[in-house]
Amino acid sequence: MSLGECPDCQTSVSLNAVSCPNCGCPFVEPETKSGGFSWITSIAIGLAVGYGILSYNLGRPATPNDIKFLTGIEGPSCENILSSIYNISQENRAQYNGATVIQITPSETTAQTETSVDCIGTAKWSDGSQTAIIYKSYEDQGQVWLEMQPIRF
Protein backbone atom coordinates (compact mmCIF):
# COMPACT_ATOMS: atom_id res chain seq x y z
CA MET A 1 0.00 0.00 0.00
CA SER A 2 1.42 3.37 -1.06
CA LEU A 3 1.42 6.16 1.49
CA GLY A 4 1.36 9.89 1.10
CA GLU A 5 1.21 12.85 3.47
CA CYS A 6 -1.90 14.85 4.38
CA PRO A 7 -1.38 18.47 3.27
CA ASP A 8 -3.03 19.81 6.47
CA CYS A 9 -1.76 17.66 9.37
CA GLN A 10 1.20 15.85 7.72
CA THR A 11 -0.13 12.43 8.86
CA SER A 12 0.78 9.40 6.70
CA VAL A 13 -2.28 8.52 4.63
CA SER A 14 -3.02 5.91 1.98
CA LEU A 15 -2.89 7.32 -1.56
CA ASN A 16 -6.23 5.59 -2.19
CA ALA A 17 -7.98 7.52 0.63
CA VAL A 18 -10.64 10.08 -0.22
CA SER A 19 -9.92 12.15 2.91
CA CYS A 20 -7.46 12.20 5.85
CA PRO A 21 -8.64 9.84 8.66
CA ASN A 22 -6.93 12.10 11.22
CA CYS A 23 -8.19 15.61 10.35
CA GLY A 24 -10.84 14.93 7.66
CA CYS A 25 -9.07 17.02 4.99
CA PRO A 26 -10.58 16.02 1.60
CA PHE A 27 -8.15 14.88 -1.07
CA VAL A 28 -8.97 16.26 -4.48
CA GLU A 29 -7.41 14.65 -7.51
CA PRO A 30 -5.63 17.19 -9.69
CA GLU A 31 -7.58 18.05 -12.82
CA THR A 32 -6.14 16.58 -15.95
CA LYS A 33 -6.52 18.12 -19.34
CA SER A 34 -8.66 15.67 -21.19
CA GLY A 35 -10.52 16.23 -24.38
CA GLY A 36 -8.31 19.09 -25.57
CA PHE A 37 -6.56 16.94 -28.11
CA SER A 38 -9.70 15.10 -29.15
CA TRP A 39 -11.73 18.17 -30.19
CA ILE A 40 -8.78 19.55 -32.15
CA THR A 41 -8.35 16.18 -33.83
CA SER A 42 -12.08 16.01 -34.62
CA ILE A 43 -12.03 19.44 -36.25
CA ALA A 44 -8.94 18.58 -38.30
CA ILE A 45 -10.44 15.31 -39.51
CA GLY A 46 -13.74 17.03 -40.33
CA LEU A 47 -11.98 19.71 -42.36
CA ALA A 48 -9.90 17.13 -44.23
CA VAL A 49 -12.97 15.03 -45.10
CA GLY A 50 -14.93 18.13 -46.14
CA TYR A 51 -12.09 19.32 -48.36
CA GLY A 52 -11.85 15.88 -49.96
CA ILE A 53 -15.55 15.76 -50.73
CA LEU A 54 -15.59 19.30 -52.14
CA SER A 55 -12.51 18.87 -54.29
CA TYR A 56 -13.84 15.58 -55.70
CA ASN A 57 -17.25 17.05 -56.60
CA LEU A 58 -15.97 20.38 -57.94
CA GLY A 59 -14.07 18.64 -60.73
CA ARG A 60 -17.13 16.75 -61.97
CA PRO A 61 -20.06 18.03 -64.00
CA ALA A 62 -23.35 18.39 -62.14
CA THR A 63 -24.87 15.54 -64.17
CA PRO A 64 -22.20 13.08 -65.31
CA ASN A 65 -24.46 11.29 -67.78
CA ASP A 66 -26.85 12.56 -70.40
CA ILE A 67 -30.14 10.72 -69.98
CA LYS A 68 -33.11 10.68 -72.33
CA PHE A 69 -36.47 8.93 -72.48
CA LEU A 70 -36.75 6.79 -75.63
CA THR A 71 -39.58 5.57 -77.78
CA GLY A 72 -39.57 3.21 -80.75
CA ILE A 73 -36.50 1.15 -79.84
CA GLU A 74 -36.86 -2.45 -80.96
CA GLY A 75 -35.06 -4.62 -78.42
CA PRO A 76 -32.01 -3.39 -76.59
CA SER A 77 -28.76 -3.75 -78.50
CA CYS A 78 -25.72 -1.52 -78.88
CA GLU A 79 -26.48 -0.99 -82.59
CA ASN A 80 -30.20 -0.20 -82.07
CA ILE A 81 -29.53 2.77 -79.79
CA LEU A 82 -26.69 4.47 -81.74
CA SER A 83 -28.90 6.99 -83.56
CA SER A 84 -30.39 8.03 -80.22
CA ILE A 85 -26.89 8.56 -78.81
CA TYR A 86 -26.12 10.93 -81.69
CA ASN A 87 -29.32 12.87 -80.92
CA ILE A 88 -28.44 13.18 -77.23
CA SER A 89 -24.98 14.55 -78.05
CA GLN A 90 -26.54 17.18 -80.34
CA GLU A 91 -29.11 18.20 -77.72
CA ASN A 92 -26.34 18.58 -75.11
CA ARG A 93 -23.58 20.01 -77.30
CA ALA A 94 -23.09 22.98 -74.94
CA GLN A 95 -21.89 20.53 -72.31
CA TYR A 96 -19.24 19.31 -74.74
CA ASN A 97 -17.97 22.75 -75.88
CA GLY A 98 -20.18 22.68 -78.96
CA ALA A 99 -18.95 19.27 -80.16
CA THR A 100 -21.29 16.42 -81.06
CA VAL A 101 -20.74 12.71 -81.57
CA ILE A 102 -20.46 11.98 -85.29
CA GLN A 103 -19.50 8.31 -85.15
CA ILE A 104 -19.47 5.53 -82.57
CA THR A 105 -17.59 2.31 -83.07
CA PRO A 106 -19.06 -0.22 -80.63
CA SER A 107 -16.38 -2.34 -79.05
CA GLU A 108 -18.13 -4.38 -76.37
CA THR A 109 -21.53 -5.21 -74.93
CA THR A 110 -20.76 -5.41 -71.20
CA ALA A 111 -24.22 -6.57 -70.07
CA GLN A 112 -27.48 -7.43 -71.76
CA THR A 113 -30.91 -8.58 -70.60
CA GLU A 114 -34.35 -8.54 -72.22
CA THR A 115 -34.87 -4.94 -71.05
CA SER A 116 -31.37 -3.42 -70.89
CA VAL A 117 -28.00 -3.24 -72.59
CA ASP A 118 -24.68 -1.70 -71.46
CA CYS A 119 -22.14 -0.85 -74.17
CA ILE A 120 -18.63 0.52 -74.49
CA GLY A 121 -17.28 2.07 -77.67
CA THR A 122 -15.12 4.74 -79.22
CA ALA A 123 -16.72 8.06 -80.17
CA LYS A 124 -15.46 10.46 -82.83
CA TRP A 125 -16.53 14.06 -82.16
CA SER A 126 -17.21 16.94 -84.54
CA ASP A 127 -14.22 18.86 -83.09
CA GLY A 128 -11.85 16.07 -84.24
CA SER A 129 -11.36 14.54 -80.79
CA GLN A 130 -11.91 10.92 -79.91
CA THR A 131 -13.13 9.47 -76.60
CA ALA A 132 -14.22 6.25 -75.06
CA ILE A 133 -17.96 6.22 -74.48
CA ILE A 134 -20.20 4.22 -72.19
CA TYR A 135 -23.80 4.07 -73.31
CA LYS A 136 -26.77 2.05 -72.23
CA SER A 137 -30.47 1.55 -72.61
CA TYR A 138 -32.68 0.29 -69.81
CA GLU A 139 -36.33 0.00 -68.84
CA ASP A 140 -37.56 1.63 -65.65
CA GLN A 141 -41.22 1.43 -64.61
CA GLY A 142 -42.34 0.64 -68.15
CA GLN A 143 -40.34 3.43 -69.81
CA VAL A 144 -37.17 2.96 -71.85
CA TRP A 145 -34.24 5.26 -71.05
CA LEU A 146 -30.94 5.92 -72.75
CA GLU A 147 -27.81 7.11 -70.97
CA MET A 148 -24.38 8.08 -72.29
CA GLN A 149 -21.11 9.10 -70.67
CA PRO A 150 -18.08 10.13 -72.70
CA ILE A 151 -14.71 9.41 -71.10
CA ARG A 152 -12.02 11.78 -72.35
CA PHE A 153 -8.53 10.33 -72.79
Domain residue extents for the chain: 1-30, 35-60, 66-152
DSSP string computed for 53-117:
HHHHHHTS-SSSSEEEEE-S--S--TTTTHHHHHHHHHHTGGGGTT--EEEEEEEEEEEE-SSEE
The whole-number average pLDDT for the span 143-151 is: 82
pTM above 0.75, yes or no: no
The whole-number average pLDDT for the span 123-140 is: 87
101 or 80: which leads in pLDDT:
101
- How much is the pLDDT for 17? 82
pLDDT digits (tens, 9 = 90+) for 5-51: 888 888 888 877 888 888 888 877 655 555 455 667 777 777 766 66
